[in-house]
Amino acid sequence: MEIKAYAKINLSLEVVGRRADGYHDLVSVMQRISLADTLVFKRRENGLLLDAGGALPCDESNLVLRAARAYFAKAGLEFGVDIRLTK
């Protein structure tokens, strides 16, 4: 499966407070733009493997991998996936 992850720009961004967990409350207006990353997913027996073509780290600091791990954990999926990220 191949999908596009479109970029966005903030037209306005205001920090309106700080939450107890240390993150900030924001008020923002965003607009999607035509630039996009391409994500290709291929099923595998188990585990998650991210290939970013050397452009980005492929460890837990990568949001794509963190999001995939969270999704698999919540959905209880028992197979794996190869993810190719092209900027």
Q: What is the pLDDT of residues 32-64, one digit of tens each?
A: 999 999 999 999 999 899 999 888 898 889 999
Average pLDDT over residues 53-79: 91
Average pLDDT over residues 56-77: 91
H or E element at residue 68: helix 63-75
Q: Which of 40, 41, 47, 48 is nearest to 87 (CA)?
A: 40
Above 90 in pLDDT, residue 28?
yes
Beta strands in 1-87 (DSSP E): 2-18, 24-44, 48-51, 80-86
Q: What is the pLDDT of residue 1?
A: 94
**Rounded Cα gap, residues 37 and 50, in angstroms:** 14
**Rounded Cα gap, residues 8 and 36, in angstroms:** 9
Check: CB of residue 70 under 8 Å from CB of residue 36: no
Cα–Cα–Cα angle for 68, 42, 46, nearest 5°? 65
